[in-house]
């Protein structure tokens, strides 16, 4: 199972929110590159980089941060937040993203999202399936849609989607543990999905449980920044200790 630390960006700074609420913003470091280099130094190979300004503005904003991390580390970056057009994707990929994550766009403009899968390849496009009470949430979680989570994922699997990041919003940033039952259900009902669990990770012991469920990756955010899980523990997990 891949360990994928998260860096969320507002005004070029590394921040974390609780339940996606911008009013809960807490700045952890003014220099995201510094954080990314710490991850890299502990054997971490992947990074989940979220442009929260972009999510609010509905277009890419913090591509310079992406470019700096991509050019000054070897991290494989998946980038999301406000990507709405082919031009946004072009900027993201040219700035060094390995993959991009589309969430709201997959609900609000399915035709565009499907065209990205066809144009860039399913290995480059991650479906962001963020949910509240198993309903898909959109627009930086400011809106709930009528889409049910499992059929939503299944529909995009038919379009070729392989990678899915699922965040249970009720858990995000709360350090109360992830939604094991929800992830188990997704893996059972969506065969062959490469599920990346996100939200609520609070202790190291949760990681082997997610791996054993069949998650392909796990995004870890606040637990790192609040020193609930150490980078050394993650390093040991990655090398199989």
Q: Which one, of 31, 11, 101, 100, lies nearest residue 72 by Cα? A: 31
The residue annotated as part of the active site, out of 53, 130, 168, 172, is 130
pLDDT, one tens digit per residue, over 166-221 is 988 877 667 789 999 999 999 999 999 999 999 889 999 999 999 999 999 999 99
Active site residue 130: yes
Q: CA of 60: how far to CAs of 72, 113, 135, 172, in Å? A: 20, 16, 25, 23
* pLDDT tier for residue 87 given thresholds of 50, 70 and 90: very high
Q: Residue 35: its pLDDT value, please?
A: 97
For the chain, domain boundaries: 2-238
Please give the CATH architecture assigned to the domain spanning 2-238: Alpha-Beta Barrel (3.20)
Does residue 18 register a pLDDT over 90?
no
Under 8 Å between Cβ of 135 and 143: no
Q: Residue 145: its pLDDT value, please?
A: 76
d(CA 1, CA 213): 10
Active site residue 88: no
Q: Which one, of 237, 224, 158, lies nearest residue 191 by Cα? A: 158
Q: Please return the burial class of 130, using the count of CB atoms within 10 Å of its CB with bins 0-12, 13-18 and 19+.
A: buried
d(CA 91, CA 241): 39
What are 14's strand-pairing partners?
Answer: 9, 29
Provide the mean pLDDT of the chain: 93
Q: Residue 171: its pLDDT value, please?
A: 74
Strands 194-198 and 217-220: parallel
Q: How many helices (H) and strands (E) does the chain have?
A: 11, 13
- Per-residue pLDDT, averaged over 209-238, amounts to 96
Q: Residue 11: its pLDDT value, please?
A: 95
Q: Outline where the chain has alpha helix (H).
A: 32-41, 52-57, 63-72, 86-94, 104-108, 110-120, 149-157, 180-189, 206-213, 222-225, 231-238
| Choice between 116 and 172, residue whose per-residue pLDDT is larger | 116
The residue annotated as part of the active site, out of 8, 51, 168, 172, is 8
pLDDT, one tens digit per residue, over 140-177 is 555 667 889 999 999 999 999 999 999 888 776 677 89
């Amino acid at each position: 199972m891949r360990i994928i630390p998260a860096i969320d960006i507002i005004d070029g700074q590394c921040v974390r929110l609780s339940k996606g609420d911008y009013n809960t913003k807490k700045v952890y470091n003014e220099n995201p590159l510094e954080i990314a280099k710490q991850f890299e130094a502990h054997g971490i190979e992947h990074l989940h980089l979220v442009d929260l300004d972009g999510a609010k503005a509905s277009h890419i904003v913090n591509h310079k941060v992406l470019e700096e991390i991509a050019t000054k580390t070897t991290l494989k970056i998946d980038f999301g937040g406000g990507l709405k057009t082919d031009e946004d994707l072009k900027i993201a990929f040219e700035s060094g993203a390995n993959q991009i994550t589309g969430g709201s766009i997959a609900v609000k403009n399915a035709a565009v999202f499907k065209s990205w899968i066809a144009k860039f390849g399913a290995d480059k496009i991650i479906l962001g399936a963020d949910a509240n009470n198993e309903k898909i949430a959109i627009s930086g979680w400011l809106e709930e849609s009528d889409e049910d989570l499992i059929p939503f994922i299944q529909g995009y699997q038919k379009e070729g989607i392989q990678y899915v990041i699922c965040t249970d919003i009720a858990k995000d940033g709360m350090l109360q543990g992830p939604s094991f039952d929800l992830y188990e259900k997704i893996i059972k009902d969506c065969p062959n999905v490469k599920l990346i669990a996100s939200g609520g990770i609070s202790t190291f012991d949760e990681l082997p449980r997610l791996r054993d469920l069949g998650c392909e990756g796990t995004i870890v955010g606040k637990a790192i920044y609040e020193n609930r899980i150490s980078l050394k523990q993650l390093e040991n997990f990655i090398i199989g200790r």
